[in-house]
Amino acid sequence: MLTGRRLLITGVVTKDSIAFAVARRAQELGAETVLTGFGRGRRMTERAAKTLPVPAEVLELDVNRPEDIAAVADDLRARWGAVDGVLHAIAFAPSDALGGNFMSAPAASAEEAFRTSAYSLKALAQGLLPLMSGRDAAIVGLDFDASVAWPVYDWMGVAKAALESVSRYLARDLGPERVRVNLVSAGPLETLAAGGIPGFERLASGWDAQAPLGWDITDPAPVAEAVCFLLSARALGITGEILHVDGGYHAVGAPL
């Protein structure tokens, strides 16, 4: 499904990362992959990258630094000449903007959550657009349903709502460039990032009971399959979409 497609995968920290599951499945489906990491966490990304079916190189990328995005674009231009797909798996909110601190969070923390988790999708798309334009390329972001308010998610939930809106405007503006932009709204999964959300277990508990299909918080495979589909040429007519991969939880108003 992805044979010959060249993909940039962000957001891999450990082998438990959703982005790692995407990178592994994408390689199994024939894609070439390059990963990104930054700062002290880059060493963890590099260790995970070595365990992929085809060990992948890791590029430095702090998505809030325009010079990093430009350097990644230059590397991919020299390496491949073009890019067929990007996974945006980047999100962050300071601790004082999570865990029940919605009312007390300072503006600076809310702004940091927005910039890193939502504006970064536009920044990355803009930086890589010259390598993707006219190629029926795809950008896929990882989302968590922002249509409702969740316990403890607070300003990250607001940032995800912004991410959903950013993806729609990008779909509008990049469609004429033959670049698709979609999101996958995943159910809760046990990852390093999830562990950084105070009270994450409150979000995850009971999900399996309410989801019509059930939900395994330790298995990112269903999410990876959906991402790979949207990155592939089989999704050529799909853009501006939010695909829920959550066992059907979003469609049910109360526990079954």
Residues serving a catalytic function are 153, 160
At 7 the three-state DSSP class reads strand
Pick the closest to residue 234 from 29, 35, 8, 23 (CA basis).
29
Residue 211, phi then psi, degrees to nearest 5: -75, 125
User: Per the structure block, which two tokens stand in for 2?
Assistant: 């992805």
Residue 136, C-beta contacts closer than 8 angstroms, at least 6 positions apart: 178, 180, 233, 236
DSSP per-residue codes, 229-250: HHHSGGGTT--S-EEEESTTGG
Q: How far, in Å, are 66, 75, 135, 243, 253 from residue 82 at the CA level?
A: 19, 10, 9, 26, 44
Measured in whole angstroms, how far is the alpha carbon of residue 124 from the centre of its chain?
Answer: 12
Whole-number CA gyration radius for the chain = 17
CB 230 within 8 A of CB 184: yes
